[in-house]
Amino acid sequence: MEDLLQDFLIEAGDLLSGVDNKLVDLERSPDDVGLLNDIFRGFHTIKGGAGFLNATELVNVCHLTENLFDKLRNSELSVTPETMDVILAATSAVRDMFGQLEHGTQPPAADPALIAALKAALAGEQVRLSGAAQAAPVAPMAIPKPGEPDWDVLYSAVTGKTVVQPKAAVAAPAQTLPAVQAPVESPEAIIKAAIGRRAIDKPGATGPSGRRDTERQRDNSIRVDTARLDQVLNLSGEIGLTKNRLNALRSDILSGRNDTETLHALDLAVSQLDLLVSDLQNAVMKTRMQPVGRLFQKYPRIARDLARNLGKDVELVLAGEETEIDKTMIEDLADPIIHLIRNAVDHGVEEPAGRIAAGKPEKSNVRLEARQEGDHIVILVADDGRGMDAERLRAKALAKGLITDEEASTMDERQSYNLVFLPGFSTVEQVSDVSGRGVGMDVVRTNIQKLNGSIEIRSQLGKGTTFIINLPLTLAILPVLLVRLGDQPFAVPLSMVREILPIDPANIQDVGAKATMVVRGEVLQILPLASLIGWPQERVPQYGVLMQAAELSFILAIDSFAGREDAVIKSLDDFRPKGVAGVTTLSNGQIVLILDMKELLTAAGDQRGVGRSALVRQAPKLTVA
């Protein structure tokens, strides 16, 4: 029963997301019979699954909505903005009920105002939902603590689920899901018992409901095309045959056959095994890849609701939905993209009157696009709104004390645009229930950097703004540059490396008591790797790696290089030293630490870097008498 419940929640959740997208399309094409039929079938399917789980209140909401679409598709009623508000409120209520089922409790009755509005719409009456019953998944009302994001609202906006925090039921038995040993008969009891067992048996549950366990189980599931699994199976079989061939050749060589023909056969078998293993790695990696459209499909509804709340006419255009990206990255991209879309709708595009005055169409477009470029994925969030004013951004940052006069005077346009990523920065004069607290865009950049990606802003005043996110194809394999301190190799992400250059002590100068070098007119600080990781400097660094982390460019001073590798990352879950992103194993079996440069720089803070004299002074070597 637990498996059936999870299957229902996953399938019905995907189905409801598809219904939401079709509802946004229906608002633009109210006479599209195909859309009306698809939405009708969606609610009908959800109702059937809810009936099996004995979720009576969920069945009631779906049944009323299904009847409404039956009349709409038979032309007995017509689609109006008010009717759409009621229908969208019903889909939000259905999502809330999914959340209750996920907690192991039967959903309570829907808002009476919503039920009354659905019945009035069925009767052909003019309906208007009260504020309490309207669906507004992207208009948070709760005020978070100062300097802290409203995580509950963000969760609701991204997932479409309400964070359930019942007051009267905190101590109620229905919210506590004990493990039930005796046989149970009702579907509700079966659901409670199943989720209760998971909350007790699996580590990491955050409370009696075990919500984190439920979400973790769902997040760990992945849909894989059977053709890809067939390819993995075929390659595994080929590797097995090659292994048998190698075993036979090994026996021949041990028995004394080491003629040219045997050695040539061994060479061919090893080459074939190398090719097959490489193909198998690529095939397994492809099983982790998922179309980014599964992430994109939730955003048209969110953009629609936010635009309606703000009195704007916005259409979210999706492109490149078939582009594939690592499953774990899809989950981590949800928060950054929702921030960017909210930002585009709230700050980027103008109100209809302002667009008309500027000679633009009344309806504004926000474009969400994904595409693959080489070994990277590029995601664009673009609007055709007012664009960014670099001078105004600098003035705002100065007024808030986020930058100094000297920094403002030396900033170019690109650096000025990047001010929006500073914590606490906002151009909104008055905090609203949508934005203005300055806790959004810094979260975006932080989350993108955690994925070993980067984000860039391009804007043209009066024409619009584009946010460009660059991401690696997968997090499981990371291109790295192997550097050495003495004989010990370390790995640094290749995406941060701009170039490699020799360090000549004659070219090192002190600026502010810190060793620096001038590279093509740019003064860059030299940061010895030894000082960043707390090792003694035993020799004068011979080489520098010009690296860029966010807006900081610097030269990482090292002793030598060991080459470039495509590292298979092994995470350190139980014990992870500060500044270490993971480990990898080289072809010779040596274990190498993959350094997290951003964390190392943050940990060093103002103490990072040394003066010229300390950098070029070689540590004395110890001698044994």
Residue 382 lies in a domain: yes
Closest by Cα among 89, 86, 87, 69 to 78: 69
Per-residue model confidence (pLDDT) at position 409? 84
State the total domains in the chain: 4
Do strands 364-373 and 314-319 pair parallel, antiparallel, or not at all (unpaired)? parallel
The reply to whether 294 and 283 lie within a common domain is no
CATH number for position 370: 3.30.565.10
When the pLDDT of each residue in the chain is averaged and rounded to a whole number, the result is 78
Would 573 be classed as within a structural domain? yes
* Rounded CA separation 606/182 (Å): 62
CATH of the domain at 585: 2.40.50.180
Last residue of a domain, one of 240, 264, 288: 288
Mean pLDDT of the region 563-579? 76
Instruction: Please check whether residues 451 and 357 belong to one and the same domain.
Output: yes
Q: Are residues 271 and 307 in the same domain?
A: no
| Three-state secondary structure call for residue 418 | helix
Predicted local distance difference test score (pLDDT) of residue 248: 92
The model's confidence at residue 429, banded by pLDDT at 50, 70 and 90, is low
**In the predicted structure, residue 431 carries a pLDDT above the cut 60:** no
Whole-model pTM over 0.85? no
* Spatial distance between the Cα atoms of 351 and 364, rounded to a whole number of angstroms: 9
Compute the chain's Rg from CA coordinates.
29
Q: Which spans in 128-221 are helix H?
A: 151-159, 187-201, 211-219
**Mean pLDDT computed over 600-616:** 70
Listing DSSP states for 2-25 in one string gives HHHHHHHHHHHHHHHHHHHHHHHH
pLDDT digits (tens, 9 = 90+) for 144-167: 444 455 555 555 555 555 554 433
pLDDT for 31 beyond 60 = yes
Mean pLDDT of 503-513: 84
Question: For position 522, what pLDDT does the model report?
Answer: 85
Q: Indicate whether 382 and 403 sit together in one domain.
A: yes
Query: What CATH number is given to the structural domain containing 34?
Result: 1.20.120.160
Q: What are all long-range contacts of 565-569, with beta carbons under 8 Å and residues at least 24 apart? A: 565/479, 565/480, 565/482, 565/491, 566/477, 566/478, 566/479, 566/480, 567/477, 567/478, 567/479, 567/480, 567/491, 567/592, 567/594, 568/476, 568/477, 569/475, 569/476, 569/477, 569/478, 569/594
**Predicted local distance difference test score (pLDDT) of residue 242:** 93
Same domain membership, residue 115 and residue 24: yes
Final residue before a domain boundary, out of 123, 155, 181 = 123
Q: Is residue 58 part of a domain?
A: yes
**Which of 348, 350, 382, 355 minimizes the C-alpha distance to 366?**
382
C-alpha–C-alpha distance, residues 157 and 137, integer Å? 5
Q: Do 272 and 300 share a domain, yes or no? A: no
The pLDDT of residue 190 is above 70: no
Compute the residue count for the chain. 625
Average pLDDT over residues 434-443: 60
pLDDT of residue 243: 94
Report pLDDT digits (tens) over 284-301: 888 888 888 888 888 888
pLDDT of residue 204: 37
Q: Verify that 518 and 588 share a domain, yes or no.
A: yes
Whether 489 and 609 map to the same domain: the answer is yes
Domain-ending residue, one of 452, 472, 492: 472
What pLDDT score does 622 carry? Answer: 40
The CA–CA distances, whole Å, from 90 to 7, 42, 84, 129 equal: 22, 13, 10, 11
- Report yes or no: 592 and 489 within 8 Å, Cβ to Cβ: yes
580 and 504: one domain? yes
Mark whether 497 and 566 lie in a shared domain: yes
Residue 372: which H helix or E strand, with range? strand 364-373
Token digits of residue 77: 């009623």
Residues 445 and 527 occupy one common structural domain: no
Does 607 reside within a domain? yes
Q: Answer yes or no: is 176 within a domain.
A: no
> Residue 267 domain-assigned?
yes
Residue 531 lies in a domain: yes
pLDDT at 161: 52
Which residue matches tokens 């609203």?
A: 432
Average pLDDT over residues 458-468: 92
167-182: pLDDT as tens digits: 333 333 333 333 333 3
Residue 573 has pLDDT above 80, yes or no: no
Lowest-pLDDT choice from 63-67, 95-99, 404-408: 404-408
How far is the C-alpha of 221 from the C-alpha of 266, rounded, in Å?
Answer: 41
Are 447 and 333 in the same domain?
yes
Above pLDDT 70, what percent of the chain? 78
Print the domain residue range for 503.
477-614
pLDDT at 323 over 80: yes
Distances in Å between the alpha carbon of 2 and those of 104, 187, 214, 232?
A: 10, 10, 11, 30
C-alpha to C-alpha distance for 484 and 380, rounded to whole angstroms: 37
Question: Is residue 310, in this structure, part of any structural domain at all?
Answer: yes
The residue-averaged pLDDT of 196-222 equals 42
Query: What dihedral angle (degrees, nearest 10) is formed by the CA atoms of 170, 175, 176, 182?
Result: 150
Q: Which of 99-103, 108-112, 122-126, 511-515 has the highest mean pLDDT?
A: 108-112
